[in-house]
Structure formats: structure tokens, C-alpha cells
Amino acid sequence: MEYILVVDDDPVSLLFMSSLLKRCGFQIVSAKNGLEALSILAENPNIQFVLSDWIMPEMDGIELCTKLKELEFDRYIFFVLLSGKDDQRSIIDGINAGADDFIVKGTDVKELEARVKAGFRTLELHNKITDKNQELDSAYATIRKDLDAAGDLVRQLLPTQTNFTGVELNYMSIPSAQIGGDMLGYMQLDPDHLAFYLFDVAGHGVSSALMSFSVQQSLSVVGGPSSIVKDINNNIIPPEDVIDKLNKLYISDDKIQLYFTMIYAVLNVKTGEVDYCSAGHPPLVWHHSQTEQAELIGDDNFVVGAFDFVEYKASSIQLNPGDKIWLYSDGITEAEKDNTQFSEDGLRKTIMDIHSHPTHLQTELLVNRVRTWQESDTFEDDVSVLAVEWKGYSKQEDDSCNTKLTTKVNAQFFR
């Protein structure tokens, strides 16, 4: 039903216009001035079309139009200003007040009917768009809820225990959105070896997060025929072979064009030897406890999942007690201020600056240092940082401590 509220203080004009529009098939409600019109609109939410005279007592047509076009009004009103004046200044004033159309009294009946019908077509289109927007808002709310749940699941995948025999680890993981493509982890392969890794899936959003979840699941299987970190004889698979297996598992095709950078390392907790493979990832930072210096190390391997012809190579380093290995994603080194990046060298220097603090505080100190530098608490990309300190091997400690994970929690996950 198409309702029109006709507003005019002249009873004759009001009756004439109402009768005319009724004959055109419209349902008419009338008001004598702007205040009465507001009251009628408040009681009749189905009315969205107003045809109002300009000059009226108490509240004229311009004032009424202004009220109805304010953002706090509860619905969209198609407003037609009716006037006895047919001059450019009057038309401009009416349109500037927010009127959708301007009709001069005495306009031909056919023209009046055509303009009113055009107004209702505009109303219909507006209402359809409003309904679609409400549907989109509802869908977005559902998606956001699902993403929040996915983010909670990702947090559950991150490790909680941070102390192993002779080793202390600490990390921070900060997704730039509800879910990100960064992931890190570590696991005890056997009583003498600890594996740790960090990878960064290209892009953002659901597809990157799903690949990150899948890669994490592939790495988390420590034993059995489906493990890629230990063979069927329970021997530890070298880092370069682990990454090669991941490359074969996640090689891109025409439908899925995702890849990731990664560092995977195995630490001998008794000797301090680290075997690692870096695949397209930013270099490790090796902090030397004896000299208090830090250096960038890494190999120039291809990313994972992009090419099927790649051969990966690994490297080894020998840690001294107190040395730390830092893994990180490029979200922290590529943080920007005034078109300048924090950089890998900036990260290396910061690690040297904070080395005297306890290991369990250093990742937070590092991230906060970057926040202060960029003068912003938020990051444009996912940020992940993992610090691994080898404390040295003690046979007494080994004899008194089993190799199961402890429950001490130093890691932090920030949204």
C-alpha cells in the first residue's frame, strides 16, 4: 500500500491535493502543519512519502524537511516540497534543505502523478538496498563470530610450556587481523633433541590461516608413518628434508597459489649444536652470550610450496651456554615509520640492547620497542617472535628431570 502524508495549512488546498492523489490510487493521510506531520509519522511507521506545503505556521515545509532528513530520524522519507513559487531561488532553497523533489502548485495532474510514482520507485529501491545492507550486516556478524572462534582455535595451537632440559623458550604472536598466517612451535623429538620453527604464509585472511593451520598439524605429528619430522625407525629427519617434505605436500596448483617462508631447526640440548634450514625466511639472529654481540645468519633457499624443483640446504652452528637464537616474521622488521622500516639490523641491535633482561621478558620488550619506534601499537602485518636460549647441559639436571613438558607459561598471544 502506497501511503502519502500531505501537509498543508490551507484546508482547501489540502482537500484538493488529497482528492487528486486518491484518484491516482494512493492512500492519503493529512496534516495541517509540520508539528502535526511529525506526530503522524511517529505513529505510522509505514509512511515514507511526504508532500508538504512550503509556508505554514508553527513549522514550515523547510523546517519539516530538515527534521525528517536528520540522521537520528528513524527511517528514510522521500520528501516533496510543494510551493506556489516557481523561481530558481525557491527551487535551490528547497533542494538545499534536503527535499527530493520540488512541485509547483497547479502542476498538470499527469505530471504530478508521474513525479509521485517516480518518488515511490526511488523509495522501493532505497528500501531494497536497506534490506540488503541489513542482510550483509547479519552475514558479517556471523563471519566475525566464526573468525573469532577460529582465532581462539589458533591460540590453542600455540605452545604453552616453555622450559625443557637445558632450554628456555619464549614467544609473542600478534595477528594483524582476527586470524593470521604466522605460526610457530616447538616439540621434544627425543630426550636429546628439541625442534623449533616459525613460518609465515603469504597473504592474509582465511585462506592463509587455513594453510597455516594445516602446516602446523603436519609438523605436530612426532611419531608414526604420517610424521614428517621422524622416520618409521624413529630417527630424526634433518631440517632440510623436513622442509622438502613440506614443499612436496603444499606445492601450489592452479587453484591454490599460496606459499610460505619458514625456518625449521633442531637443537641438541646436550651439545648445543643447532641444525637449521631457512626457506625464503628472514635470517636468524644469533646472540652470543660471551661477546654480547648478535649476528644475522641464514641460507638463501626458496620459499616453500611455490616450486617443485627446489633442493634445500641446511647449516649448523654451535651454541655456547647462554646463547640465544631468535626467529621472527617480517611483520616486525618491516614495521614502518616515515617510509623507513625497522629493518633486520634494527632488530639485531635491539636484541643486543635487551640481552641483560630475563629471557621470559625479552620478546615482549622487543615488540614494545618496535611499537615505540613506529609510534603505533598496531602492526600492518602479523608479528611473531620466538627466542630460544640454550643454558648448557648438566648431567645432574638431566638425571633429575624427565623430558616431558613443564607447565610454566611465559608465552604471550596478543590480538
Give the CATH number, domain containing residue 294: 3.60.40.10
Higher pLDDT, 99 or 156: 99
Q: Which residue matches cell numbers 604420517? A: 226
Residues 125 and 230 in one domain: no
Please count the other Cβ atoms lying within 10 Å of the Cβ belonging to residue 201. Answer: 28
Question: Are 36 and 91 in the same domain?
Answer: yes
The answer on 99 and 185 residing in a single domain is: no
Kindly report the three-state secondary structure assignment for every residue of 328-382. ECHHHHCCEECCEECCHHHHHHHHHHCCCCCHHHHHHHHHHHHHHHHCCCCCCCC
pLDDT score of 192 more than 50: yes
14 in a structural domain: yes
Q: How many domains, the chain? A: 2
Question: Which residue, 62, 96, 131, sits at the end of a domain?
Answer: 131
Domain boundary among 61, 96, 131: 131
Dist. CA 324–CA 285, nearest whole Å: 8
Assess if residue 146 is contained within a domain. no
Domain containing 101 — which CATH number?
3.40.50.2300
Do the Cβ atoms of 384 and 331 come closer than 8 Å? yes
For residue 217, the one-letter residue type is Q
pLDDT digits (tens, 9 = 90+) for 254-306: 666 789 999 999 999 999 999 999 999 999 999 999 999 999 998 889 999 98
Q: Does residue 405 sit within a domain? A: yes
Instruction: Looking at the structure, tell me whether residues 269 and 363 fall in a common domain.
Output: yes
* 294 shares its domain with 336: yes
- Check: pTM over 0.85? Answer yes or no: no
| Secondary structure of residue 272 in the 3-state scheme | coil
Give pLDDT, residue 265: 97
Do 185 and 103 share a domain, yes or no?
no
Region 332-355 average pLDDT: 95
Angle at 232 between CA 228 and CA 233, to 5 degrees: 125
- CB of 83 closer than 8 Å to CB of 94: yes
Residues 214 and 276 in one domain: yes
Residue 413 has pLDDT above 50, yes or no: no
Q: Give the range among 5-19, 258-272, 390-404 with minimum mean pLDDT.
A: 390-404
Print the domain residue range for 408: 158-413
192 and 125 in a common domain = no
Residue 142 placed within a domain: no
Q: Report CA 227 to chain centroid distance, whole Å.
A: 32
Query: In the structure, what pLDDT confidence band is assigned to residue 105 with cuts at 50, 70 and 90?
Result: confident
Q: Looking at the structure, do residues 187 and 265 belong to the same domain, yes or no?
A: yes
Distance CA 245, CA 250 (A): 9
Exposed/middle/buried for residue 280 (C-beta within 10 Å: 0-12, 13-18, 19+) = buried
Confidence of residue 365 (pLDDT cuts 50, 70, 90): very high
Question: Residues 76, 164: one domain?
Answer: no
Helices (H), 204-343: 206-220, 239-249, 330-333
Confidence at residue 178, expressed as pLDDT on a 0 to 100 scale: 57
Are 189 and 235 found together in one domain? yes
Does residue 140 form part of some domain?
no
User: Is there a domain that residue 26 lies in?
Assistant: yes
Same domain, 363 and 405: yes
219 inside domain: yes
Residue 145 domain-assigned (yes or no)? no
